[in-house]
Chains A and B, each alone.
Chain A
Amino acid sequence: MSHFVLDARYLLCPMPVIRTQNRIAELAPGDTLEVHATDPGALHDIPSWCRVHGHEIVTVAHVDKEVSITVRVGGTAT
């Protein structure tokens, strides 16, 4: 199981969730992906996308203008 980081800063929604989706498709179950974004919409969109695809939200942080969300990849990466 590995940890990866995705820089989705300065992208507007829905691009952070699209980048997250595409990156997770390349990962294995149990891997974690730490997504950094600046659009606060990511705080809603990424957890929502994870819920419908069975991925787990490990941590969510919103410091100043930056959002950081860590996702653990679920049983199937898609």
Chain B
Amino acid sequence: MLATKVMLEQGIHVEGINFYTGFCVEGHTHAIRNHEHAKPKRNNALWTAEQLGIKLHIIEVIEEYKDVVINPKHGYGANLNPCLDCKGFMVRKAREWMEKNGFDFIITGEVLGQRPMSQRRDTLPVVARESGAFDRLLRPLCAKLLPETLPEREGWVDRNKLLDFNGRSRKPQMALAAKYGYTDYAQPAGGCCFLTNEQYSRKLEDLWATRGSKQYELDDIMLLKVGRHLRPRRNFKLIVGRDEGENNFLEGYRRRFIHLHATSHEGPLTLVDGTVNENDLELAARLTARFGKGRDAEAVTLRVTDVQGNSRELKVAPLSATEILPEWYL
């Protein structure tokens, strides 16, 4: 937002690009859970474009992005976040868009030293080089600390009006936002990608380990965002809705999984991911009962439906809290 504003102040025409990888925290993820419903369900990229008065192009890169997540040349960060590869990928896609649409250069909001992996003095040039953008990549917020780029040399941009932000503090950005009159802005400290989330990364690692290969489809990574994930036995995992919003979302996957829900009490919808026997199903039923309103009842009746749509009832005793082992939780 700020980098764009700095350019707009110089009279430069800017259009925004927002990439949808499937791991974005934005949008639907906020909409799924009930507790988020009080918040506006805005798409922050679109909202920001509106504040700036620029066009925004949202580009879906789900398939192409898989290689970034599965085979990051520069490795992962603290979790499964391939930040440097991701940055190189997105700037490359932006360069391709720039060339196709007759634009002259790319700007990003990066700040030298802001992030431990992708925004260091030694990694900023890596992004410029590996994306193929080279000196057509300008970082207006820290440009004065970096070598001159093409738009500066050509006089398209006045280098003197660019900035020299440096380090992890967001205070200079907040001060600049205040100067421009922005009191509301998104993600002052990142956090827009599930791959930076420790719990999410653990679930993705479990998915890969269980399948024996580092592959995923969009539905896989969507489901990792929703519900409690428990693996009580090696051969199956349960995805248990935590509220009505999540249950509604999981409903959409019913036909692809064995699923359970209590009929004698209110409770969650549970999807069973894996191959299960009768004993496993009983455990799944007892766990599902535990997370519903019948948790303290002597017995809970549940309906179990297989992927062919055949259903039957199971009557079980809910598991007690102590019977659910902490290591079951992913």
Contacts and interface: CB of A to CB of B under 8 A. Distances in A.
Interface string A35-60: 00001110011001101110000000
B57 A14 contact: no
Contacts of A78: 55, 57
A17 interface: yes
A44 B252 CA distance: 22
B28 A12 contact: yes
B42 interface: yes
Interface residues of B, number: 25
Contact of B20 (A14, A52, A53): A14
Nearest to A22: B60
A78 B56 CA distance: 10
Interface stretch (B46-54, B122-130, B272-280, B301-309): B46-54
B8 to A, nearest CB: 14
Interface in B22-53: 24, 26-28, 30-31, 40-43, 46-47, 49-50, 53
A45 B43 contact: yes
A15 B46 contact: no
A53 B53 CA distance: 10
B43 A52 contact: no
A13 B28 contact: yes
B224 to A, nearest CB: 14
A18 B20 contact: yes
B222 A13 contact: no
Contacts, number: 65
B58 interface: yes
Contact of A10 (B30, B56, B252): B252
Contact of B31 (A10, A40, A49, A53): A40
Contacts of B59: 18
A17 B58 contact: yes
Given A14-B20, A52-B56, A53-B55, A41 B49 contact: no
- Chain A binding site: helix, strand, loop or mixed by DSSP? helix
A53 B56 CA distance: 8
Given A14-B20, A41-B41, A48 B28 contact: no
Given A41-B28, A44-B40, A52 B46 contact: yes
A7 B55 CA distance: 24
A53 B31 CA distance: 24
A49 B56 contact: yes
Contacts of A14: 20, 24, 26-28, 43, 58
B288 to A, nearest CB: 24
Contacts of B28: 12-14, 39, 41
A28 to B, nearest CB: 18
Given A41-B31, A48-B47, 16 more contacts: A13-B28, A14-B20, A14-B27, A21-B57, A21-B58, A40-B41, A41-B27, A41-B28, A44-B40, A44-B41, A48-B43, A49-B58, A52-B46, A52-B54, A52-B56, A53-B55
Interface of A: 10, 12-15, 17-18, 21, 39-41, 44-45, 48-49, 51-53, 78
Ordered nearest first, which 8 A-B pairs have the shortest CB separation?
Answer: A12-B28, A13-B27, A48-B46, A13-B28, A52-B49, A41-B41, A14-B27, A41-B31
21 contacts: A10-B252, A12-B27, A13-B26, A13-B31, A13-B43, A14-B24, A15-B20, A17-B43, A17-B46, A18-B59, A18-B60, A21-B58, A44-B41, A44-B43, A48-B46, A49-B46, A49-B58, A52-B46, A52-B50, A52-B55, A52-B56
